[in-house]
A and B are shown apart, each in its own frame.
Chain A
Amino acid sequence: MSGDGRDALPLAGVRVADFTWVWAGPVSTLQLALLGADVIKVESSLRLDTTRRLPPWAEDVPGANHAGYFNQYSQQKRSISLNLKQPEAVQAAKDLVAACDVVADNFSAGVMDRAGLGYEALRRVKPDVIVVSFSGYGATGPKANYIAYGPVQVPMIGLASLSGYPGLGPSEIGLSYGDPNAGLHAAFAVLTALWHRQETGEGQFIDMSQWEAAIGVVSEAFMDHAMNGRQPARQGNRDQRQAPQGVFPAAEEDEWVAVACWSDEQWHGLCAASGRAELARDPRFATAAARKQHEDELEAAITEWTRGRSWSETVETLQRHGVPSYHVLSNRGVAEDEQLNARGVFSELEHPEVGARRHIGAPWRFGTSDVRVRRRAPLLGEHTDEVLRDVLGYDAAHIAALRACGALE
C-alpha cells in the first residue's frame, strides 16, 4: 500500500470508503486510488454493481469477477462485502467510515440517509469526514428524486440537442458521457476538500448534481444563447468556425480518417499534402470564413483524395505537412496504438479469474511520484476479512458472528 516515502504518492495515508457503483462514482474513486489513496469499495453479493452484471465478459463467460467494465474502473481498489440491510453491517460501515477520510456515493438522493449513513450520521463517528454524494439532480430542488442514469445525462445537459448529423435529429454520442464527467469533477472536489481540511481541520459535505457538473461542457453553445438567444445548428463533424474539418473515408472498408485545419498554415499543408497546391491560392478558400462558406466543395475534394489511399498513407502524409489528422481508432486500434503503448498507458496485471487483460491505467505521468496501477480490480468481497481485521480492528470471533448472521453477504 501507500505510505512508503520513496513512492511519494500524492494521497498516501488517505483512506476512502467507496459506496459508489455503476460508472460515475467508480471513475471518481479510481482517480483517488491512482493517486495513492486506499480505496475500499463496499459492495454486496445481494445487489451486485451493475458493471459486474454487464458484458463484455472474459471469453464471453458471464460472472461477477469476469466483467471487463467492472475490472477497468475498479483497478487499484479493495473490496469488502456488506449487506447494508442488516444493522450489524451498517455498524461495520460506520466503523469503516470512522477509519476513513473520505466517503463517496452516487446513489439517488436520500438513499444513504435511509440506510443510516447520511452525512449527519457519519459526522458523529468521524467529525472531519469529507462526504461526496453525487446524484443525477443533486440533493435539493423539485426534481431531486428523479432518476438519471448516465445515458440520460447527454440529452439533459443539452449535448444531444447540439450533436448530430446535419438534417437529422438530435443525437447520442456513443458514451454515457455524463458519468465520467461527473466522476472526474467529484475527484477534483474531493482533492479540494482534502486541501481545505489540511489547512483548517474541517471536513464537509459535497452535494454534486451530475447535471450541473456537465452544463459547463456545452458553454460555447450556452453563451450563444445567453448573448443572442440562439441555439447553434447541428453540424455533424464540422466546426462552428474553422474549415475544413471532417471524418473522411479511407480506401479500406469502413476505415476513417479525421482531418481538421484550424489555421491557414494547416490548410496550406493540406493542399500541398494532397497535391492540390492550386487550392491554396484559390480566393474561395483563402480564409477560415471563406473555407467555411465553401465547405461542401472542400469536403468533396478531400473525400476524393482520401478514398484512393490507405488510412496510414493519408495520416502520415498529412502529419508530414503539419496537418492535424489521425486514424479513427477502434478499441483494437487503441489497444495497439503506438503512442499510447510508448507512454505505458496500459496496465496488464494478472487476475485469478480472467488472466492478464489489458486495461487503461493512469492517463497522466508524474515526474517523481510513482503513480501507476499496482493492484488489479478486486474479486467480489476479496478483502472483507482483511479490512475488518486490519482497518476496523475486529477480532476473528466478531467477524465470524457477522458472517453467521449474513451481514457479510
Chain B
Amino acid sequence: MRNGALAGMRVIECGELVAAPYAAKLLGHMGADVAKVEPPGGDPARRRGPFPDGVEDPERSGLHLYLNQAKRGVVIDWESEQGRARLLRLVAHADAVVVSGAPREIERRGLTYERLSAVNPRVVVTTITPFGMTGPRRDWAATELTEVAAGGWLYISPGALRDPSLPPLKAFGQQADFQAGVHGAIVTLGALFARRELGIGQHVDVSVQACIASNLEMNFMHWTYAGRVASRLGQRAIGPWGIIEVADGPFFLTCIEEDQWQRLVEYLGHPEWADWDVFADRLLRAQNGDVLMPLIEEALQHLTREQAYVELQARKIACAPVFDMAMLRGSDHLAARRFFVEVDHPDAGRLTYPGAPFRFSGSPWEVRRRAPRLGEHTEEVLADWSAERRAAEEAMPA
C-alpha cells in the first residue's frame, strides 16, 4: 500500500514565511517526503506568531505550526562550508527543491538550478520570488503589501468604496504568498511530469507579482478591452450585493440572477420592490444600492445570522454570515465533514488546525506529521535518504 499519492517523492524546502512553505506543505500532506531546511535562527515564521498567551517561542508560533506540518526539520548553516556541503548531499537524493526569498540571497546560497543540477541533473528547482529571477526589478525589495500593489489587486480593493479619502485596502494576512505557494506546488509537479520525457530537471521561476496579476477577475480586461481604469471606488455591476447588519451581526448577500432577486423580495414581503424602476435590473439595483441595501437590512432585522442563512439559502439566494474565527470553529457543516484536525505538538500542545483543502477518494490528504522542532531531523533525513538510495541501487539487477 503506497502511503499517499506522492509517496516516494523527495522535496527540499528552503523557504521562509508563507510562499515556499505552503507549496511544500501541499506536497507533504499528499505523501511527499519533505525536508524543511532552515538556517540556525529558524524560519522567520517561527518569530511571527501568533503565540499562546502572546509569549514568543520559536516552537509555538501558530503560523509556523500550521505551515510546516507534514515536513521534517533540517538545519543548515549557509555560512559554513560544511553546511553547504550537507545541503548538496541532500540535493543528490532529492526530486525537487522549492525555494523562496530574495533572488540575490537565493544565488548567494547557491540554490540555483545551475548549481544544484551539477550535483543532481534530475532535480527540479522551483523559485518563488516577488518579481521572478529576471527582469529590471528582480532585486527590488518587497513584502506582502508591495506585492499586492505590484500585482494590481490593492488598487481595486475593497471595491465600491464610498469614501475616496480612504486608501486602497489590503486583505488580511499574506494572501499573495499563499497564492504564489499554490502556484509553486503546481509547477513543481509540472516539472516532475516533464522530467519523464526530458530525463532531467529544470528551473521553474515563479513571480509572485505575476501570480497576483493573473488573479484579477475581469478587472485587467476593463483596461485592455474597454479602456477603463477599475478602482476601489467605482460601483458594482450587480445588486443587491454587500454586507448588512442583521440581529446578531454582519451578514453578506447578493442576487446574481433575476430569479434570485424575485425570490428575495417575495420572502421579504415586498414583492412591489421588483416593480420599482430604480430596481429594474441588477445594474440599476447596484447603482441604487444606497437605497436598496438599507431596505433589505431593515426587512431582515428580526433574524439572526444563522436564521437568515437558512431562510435565504432555502430560497436559493447566495448569502452567508460574515464568519469570524469562532463561527468557523462552530460550523455544523465543517464539523460534519470533519474539516478541522486536532494535532499534538510537544511544545504547543494539542491544537485545532484547518484540515484538508480537498478530499481524494483513493489517496487522501493526511496530516502525517506535526511541524518539526528546529533541526529535529537533520541527521535522520540525511541518513534515510542515503540509505534508501543505497537499498534501491542494491536491489537493481546488475
Contacts and interface: CB of A to CB of B under 8 A. Distances in A.
A148 B221 contact: no
Contacts of A329: 149-152, 154-155
Interface string A247-262: 1110000101111101
Interface string B210-229: 11011111111111111011
A204 B48 contact: no
A178 B141 CA distance: 28
A271 to B, nearest CB: 15
Given A147-B313, A180-B179, A35 B146 contact: no
Interface residues of A, number: 162
B243 A170 contact: yes
B395 interface: no
B178 A189 contact: no
Given A171-B158, A331-B152, A367-B204, A207 B218 contact: no
A264 B191 CA distance: 38
A175 B215 contact: yes
A215 B173 CA distance: 12
Interface centre among B191, B224, B242 (most CB of A within 10 A): B224
Contact of B197 (A8, A68, A339): A8
B50 interface: yes
A204 B362 contact: yes
B390 interface: no
Contacts of A212: 334, 337, 339, 354-358
B291 interface: no
B224 A55 contact: no
A160 B320 CA distance: 11
Contacts, number: 528
A164 interface: yes
Interface residues of B, number: 149
Contacts of B215: 27, 175, 177, 180
Contacts of A54: 218, 237
A254 B254 CA distance: 29
Contacts of B358: 132, 134, 185-186, 189, 206-209, 212-213
A203 B63 CA distance: 34
Interface stretch (B80-88, B129-137, B266-274, B377-385): B129-137
Contacts of A219: 62-63, 66-67, 353-354
Nearest to B185: A188
A343 B210 contact: yes
A205 B118 CA distance: 40
Contacts of B250: 155, 160-161, 169-170
Interface in A157-177: 157-165, 169-177
Interface in A310-359: 319, 322-335, 337-340, 342-343, 345, 354, 357-359
A258 B63 contact: no
B125 to A, nearest CB: 8
Nearest to A189: B358
A192 B172 CA distance: 29
Interface in A50-109: 50-51, 54-60, 66, 68-69, 71-72
B182 A258 contact: no
B250 to A, nearest CB: 5
Contacts of A57: 225-226
B325 interface: yes
B156 interface: yes
Contact of A151 (B6, B65, B223, B254): B254
Nearest to B5: A196
B361 A227 contact: no
A399 to B, nearest CB: 33
A144 B360 CA distance: 17
Given A155-B243, A339-B131, A149 B318 contact: yes
A231 interface: yes
Interface centre among A9, A57, A160, A170 (most CB of B within 10 A): A160
Interface in B38-54: 48-54
Contacts of B339: 209, 212, 215
B146 A260 contact: yes
Contact of A345 (B53, B210, B354): B210
A297 B7 CA distance: 53
Interface stretch (A135-143, A278-286, A379-387, A400-408): A135-143
B145 interface: yes
A328 B18 CA distance: 22
Nearest to B198: A8
A221 interface: yes
Interface string B338-371: 0100000000100111111111111100000000
Contacts of B355: 212
B103 interface: no
Interface in B196-211: 197-198, 200, 202-207, 209-211
A258 B218 contact: no
Given A176-B217, A223-B63, A248-B167, A343 B134 contact: yes
Given A157-B323, A193-B363, A254-B164, 10 more contacts: A171-B169, A195-B189, A196-B6, A206-B360, A219-B353, A224-B325, A227-B348, A329-B152, A338-B135, A359-B221
16 contacts: A9-B194, A10-B191, A12-B197, A155-B243, A174-B159, A175-B219, A180-B179, A202-B363, A223-B353, A224-B325, A225-B325, A247-B149, A259-B146, A331-B152, A339-B135, A342-B135
Q: Across the A-B interface, give the 5 residue pairs with the lowest CB-CB distance, nearest first.
A: A68-B221, A223-B62, A174-B157, A363-B210, A225-B325
